[in-house]
Amino acid sequence: MVRTTQILPIILCGGSGTRLWPLSRSSFPKQFLVLSGSDKSKSLFQEAIERINHIASPTITLGPTLIVTNEDHRFLALDQLRELSTIQSTLLLEPVGRNTAPALTLAALWAQANRSNKDEVADDPILVITPADQTIQNTAAFTKALQDCVQVVAADPEQKTIAILGITPTGPETGYGYILRAKTPNAQGAYAVEKFVEKPDGPTAQAYLEHGHYFWNSGMFVLRASTWLAALKEFRPDILGATETAWVARTIDHSGQTEFVRPDKTIFKTIPAESIDYAVIENCPGSNFTVNMVALDAGWNDLGAWDAVWQVREQDANGNAYSGDALLTNTKNSLVHATSRLVSTVGVENLIIVETADAVLVADRNNSQDVKHIVAQLEAQKRTEKNLHRKVARPWGWYDSVDEGERFKVKRIQVKPGASLSLQMHHHRAEHWIVVKGVAEITNGDQIITLTENQSTYIPQGQTHRLANPGSTPLEIIEVQSGSYLGEDDIVRFEDDYGRN
């Protein structure tokens, strides 16, 4: 009888993707966007889940996919998970971002808390960890490399081996950390990692490329849950202790078949923010813990900036990659992303042009990493464009702020079938609702009324109200707000199906 290895796929989904502003924003970060890949309808997050779930084999069995993401993104993740109906998943929700080391610790603690039986393998499953925001062109090569990593970890009876995917470099890249591997492979065909090095300057990166034994650090790891916790205890016991304390005080609830696990918010905020690499992995060479590298040459890209998006997208004969309503003339080696209107270019080269409904980015392609400085300025000026698109996703649907001025705002609102907004009131504004499509069930003070297309109602300032869609098709309304203050924080919620305050 063939003995199988139990693994848990781990998706780290907490990044903000600020270098891909204005398309990526903190309320809708890049991992949830459709940016590349063979399937143009799937987000980076969905592609990552499907890729990691393909590594099952006659000797590898999969447990549920653990997704570590921000509390604020739980409904984005849930909506996209519903489109992957065959994937069983659990969401571990971080109340605040604390980088990847605490995120992986939550996954390891979940694995130990959900042991299925006393079998050694099932008791200590192998964790396969990948970020949610990378692209892979050759999925077969990726699958094989991850399976090789699993075999490397499973072969260690002392359970002190960590396997890492090292990306075969294609150029002297200065934006990645590097791995120096040994010259000869071990019995499993992997290579011992001799050291990790920080992002180099140009000449150093060129020297690494010529050396032949340096690889890019992919941020993808394979290790047992017990190995991670033991290594963290040795190198960063402060992170382990604080995360364990927050974990013990966790709460659990469900949305359909998906489990939401929430560590204690107050305690979690005290955890030191640190990456997997800095906290543990880079300290392992020369210690009791062994890091082995499996090479991956599969068209990997972490989409760290708009230039990387240009690289992975299909290009025309002039080296241009474009999407949306775009017209290009005498344009070369540029990326044009049009979202809501026509974007045209004439006589330009090496540009990044990204248009959304409320912001336009124009950048030299070689300087696309510096978009982070624009985001920093937006943060300093407390501008909403840093965090929110004009069209904002909500668990019940979305709203699009189509116009606003002094004392008024106009929104287009769509509510999913069977969904409803919270029972709420506003201190500073009144609202008019006009049904454009579908059927609306409206609570307006003590009244509950039903409106259909072209019918409307008025919600006075201070009136308790709720909008619901009792139908089987999406409900669309136009909302006209008027009042002295129209901010999104002027909401007092009395009841909410989604656990919001």
pLDDT single digits (tens) 222-280: 999 999 999 999 999 999 999 999 999 999 988 777 889 999 999 999 999 999 999 99
CATH of the domain at 396: 2.60.120.10
Pair (218, 326) in one structural domain: no
Tokens for 202? 């140009």
Residue 425, domain member (yes or no): yes
Pair (446, 318) in one structural domain: no
Q: Specify the pLDDT at position 120.
A: 47
Q: What is the rounded distance in angstroms from the CA atom of residue 488 to the CA atom of residue 382?
A: 14
What average pLDDT score do residues 399-408 get?
94
Nearest one of 141, 377, 90 to 253, comparing CA atoms: 90
Q: Specify the pLDDT at position 289.
A: 95
Pair (318, 417) in one structural domain: no
Q: Specify the pLDDT at position 36.
A: 67
Pair (58, 168) in one structural domain: yes
Q: Specify the pLDDT at position 204.
A: 94
Pair (156, 286) in one structural domain: yes
Q: Specify the pLDDT at position 186.
A: 87
Q: Specify the pLDDT at position 17.
A: 79
Pair (397, 369) in one structural domain: no
CATH of the domain at 215: 3.90.550.10
pLDDT digit string, tens, across residues 409-429: 999 999 999 999 999 999 999
Q: Is 13 helix (H, G, I), strand (E, B) or coil?
A: strand
Parallel, antiparallel or unpaired: strands 178-181 and 326-329:
unpaired
Taking the CA atoms of 111, 116, 120 and 125 in sequence, report the sign of the dihedral they define. Answer: negative
Q: Is 167 helix (H, G, I), strand (E, B) or coil?
A: strand
Residue 161, domain member (yes or no): yes
As beta bridge partners, residue 412 has 400, 478
Pair (333, 443) in one structural domain: no
Q: Does the pLDDT of residue 121 top 50, yes or no?
A: no
Q: Does the pLDDT of residue 209 top 50, yes or no?
A: yes
What average pLDDT score do residues 283-292 get?
94
**Residue 39: which pLDDT band, with cuts at 50, 70 and 90?**
low
Question: Which residue pairs from 32-36 have beta carbons closer than 8 angstroms and sit at least 24 positions apart in sequence?
Answer: 32/73, 32/76, 32/77, 32/80, 35/135, 35/303, 35/309, 35/312, 36/135, 36/301, 36/303, 36/309, 36/312, 36/313
Tokens for 52? 């990691």
Residue 61, domain member (yes or no): yes
Buried b (16+ CB within 10 A) or exposed e, 191-209: bebeebeeebeeebbeebe
Alpha helices in 139-178 (DSSP H): 139-154
pLDDT digit string, tens, across residues 434-480: 999 999 999 999 999 999 999 999 999 999 999 999 999 999 999 99
The chain-wide mean pLDDT, for the chain, equals: 93
Task: Confirm if 45 and 77 have CB atoms less than 8 A apart.
Answer: yes
- The three state secondary structure string of 211-262 is HCCEEEEEEEEEEEHHHHHHHHHHHCHHHHHHHHHHHHCCEEEEECCEEEEE
Pair (234, 324) in one structural domain: no
Task: Confirm if 7 and 127 have CB atoms less than 8 A apart.
Answer: yes
Q: Cβ neighbours of residue 382 under 8 Å, at least 6 residues apart?
A: none
Residue 125, domain member (yes or no): yes
**Residue 40: which pLDDT band, with cuts at 50, 70 and 90?**
low
Q: Cβ neighbours of residue 255 under 8 Å, at least 6 residues apart?
A: 78
Residue 31, domain member (yes or no): yes
pTM: 0.90
Task: Confirm if 101 and 280 have CB atoms less than 8 A apart.
Answer: yes
Pair (448, 365) in one structural domain: no
Burial of 254 (C-beta count, 10 Å sphere; 0-12/13-18/19+): exposed
Total domains in the fold of the chain = 3
As beta bridge partners, residue 477 has 413, 435
Residue 205, domain member (yes or no): yes
Please tell me the least confidently modeled range out of 31-45, 162-176, 277-291, 345-359.
Answer: 31-45
Q: Cβ neighbours of residue 412 under 8 Å, at least 6 residues apart?
A: 399, 400, 402, 436, 476, 477, 478, 479
**Containing domain of residue 258, as a range?**
5-296
Residue 471, phi then psi, degrees to nearest 5? -90, -175
Q: Specify the pLDDT at position 116.
A: 62
pLDDT digit string, tens, across residues 305-352: 999 999 999 999 999 999 999 999 999 999 999 999 999 999 999 999
Q: Specify the pLDDT at position 157.
A: 86
Pair (345, 418) in one structural domain: no
Q: Specify the pLDDT at position 433.
A: 97
Tokens for 358? 């409320």
Residue 207, domain member (yes or no): yes
Task: Confirm if 162 and 221 have CB atoms less than 8 A apart.
Answer: yes
Pair (230, 363) in one structural domain: no
Pair (353, 287) in one structural domain: no
